Every structure is written in structure tokens, then in C-alpha cells.
Structure 1
């Protein structure tokens, strides 16, 4: 179960990091066609990799938490972060990705596109930070790091 949880968490984190970095790079250095392609790829296959990996990581994490006890509050910290990560993803990141893909594919790279893009980047950065903290605490739970 630990291996499944770890792999799912790594896949989810890599997806969010890839989406974030791709968005920043394509906005800074890419053409309109590159922006359209990036937004399309984030939706498909991106979201169809990300969403299941978050579900598997979250559900396997809850199963593992029952077997680990409190462990100095590390599990409680992870449990507190997960609802925010999930809600941020479902209520902000997924709708932003769908909107941005739709607008980009229809040539709508105007002001509203960039406002929503900024919201998506901020929400993505927050989720990356929280996923990173969960990963750090997970490593501590399995004695991968001593701090």
C-alpha cells in the first residue's frame, strides 16, 4: 500500500509541476499555437492522469494513516492539507484548465484569459507547496528523512 501511495503522490505532484512549468514557459517563450497546444494537453491527457492519481494518493493515504497512528502530528498535518488540495484542484484548477483550453482553442487569448491564467498559476503554486509538504511529512513518517 505504501508503494501505491508513494507512486500516486509522485505522479500527482509531477503532473501539477509539469502543468505549472509548461504554462509559465509557453506563456513566456511560446507562440499562440504553443499556448493552445499546452492548454489542450493539460486537459487531455493531463487531467485524466492527475485526477485519478490524486484520488489514489488520498484514499491510500487515509488507509495508511489508520495503520501508522499519530506519529507526532505528521498524519494530522497531512489530513488537514488534503481537503484544501482536493478542493483547490476541483473548484479552481480543473475549471480554470477547462476554461483556458476552451478560450485558447477559440482564439480567446485576451484579458479574461490572462486573469484566469494568473488565478490558475497561483492556485497551482499553492497546491505544489502543499503537495510538497505532504511529501516531506510522508518521507518523515517512513523514516526517509530524520528531521
Structure 2
């Protein structure tokens, strides 16, 4: 059950981050400033789901790993520290500041510099989560194969 919760929470986090990035890029490239404000507002609302999702992912991963060490587990732990720092120290403050500037109609050089930084940090966040996802799939590959073999013999 822990594995399902961990995988589900991690997948939801990746979907949310991909959605934030996609919405940001589309509204910046194709839509008006009012759409940018709506996207920034939606991202703040989405963060209220993303933060607990990331906490569940990290907590369940820590629980699944227990005291074990392996290269894959150690890589995932190291990435989770980077993911947490990136999210709480860069992405969250940028999301708040970008929303406040958009709400005030301040679409200036500083806004677009922060926007570029948010897209860059969000892309890094997605890439780190994707690598953890990949490593998690590799770690459970033998378990999935055994389950599939059991179902085929039934």
C-alpha cells in the first residue's frame, strides 16, 4: 500500500508541475495579461495541493526505504533534498511574488526575469522528479514482474 501511495503522490506532483509549466508558457506566449493573472492565481491554488503531495511523496519514500541504503535509494534521497529546497526556497516565493506583481499589473522586466527563473526552476523540479520516478520504477521492476507472472499462471 505504501508503494501505491508513494507512486500516486509522486505522479500527481509531476502532473501538477507539468501543468503549471504548460499553463505558464501558453499564457505568456499566446494570451493577454488577464490570462497571466488567472494562471498565477491557479498556480497558487495548485500549490496548496502540491505541497502536501510532495510531503506525502517524501514521507512515504522515507518509510519505504527504511534504514536501507543502495545507490538508487541514496540518489532518490539526495534528489528529494534538492526538490524540497527548490520548491520551498525558489518556486514558492516566486509563485507568490509573480501573482502579486500580476495582480498589480506590473508586467515589467523584473516580472519577466522572475518568470524565466520560475520556468527554469520548475523545469529542474520536473526533471528531478522524473529521475526519481524512473529510479523507483527500476527498483520495483522485479516485484512487478513477479506479480505479472503470478497473474499469467492463474
Band the TM-score falls in, shorter-chain normalisation: over 0.9
C-alpha separation between the residues in 1 aligned to 2:33 and 2:77?
40
SS of structure 2 residue aligned to 1:108 = coil
State the partner residue of 1:47.
Answer: 47
User: 1:1-147 alignment to 2 at 5 Å?
Assistant: 1-44=2-45, 46-66=46-66, 69-71=68-70, 73-143=71-141
For structure 1, the residue ranges without an aligned partner over 5 or more in a row are none
How far the C-alpha of 1:37 sits from its partner, in A, is 0.3
Structure of larger gyration radius: 2
CA deviation map 1:83-136 (0-9, x unaligned): 000000000000000000011011011111001001111100111110000000
C-alpha separation between the residues in 1 aligned to 2:33 and 2:125?
27
C-alpha separation between the residues in 1 aligned to 2:14 and 2:112?
24
Aligned residues: 143
Which 4+ runs in 1 deviate beyond 2 A?
A: none
SS of structure 2 residue aligned to 1:107 = coil
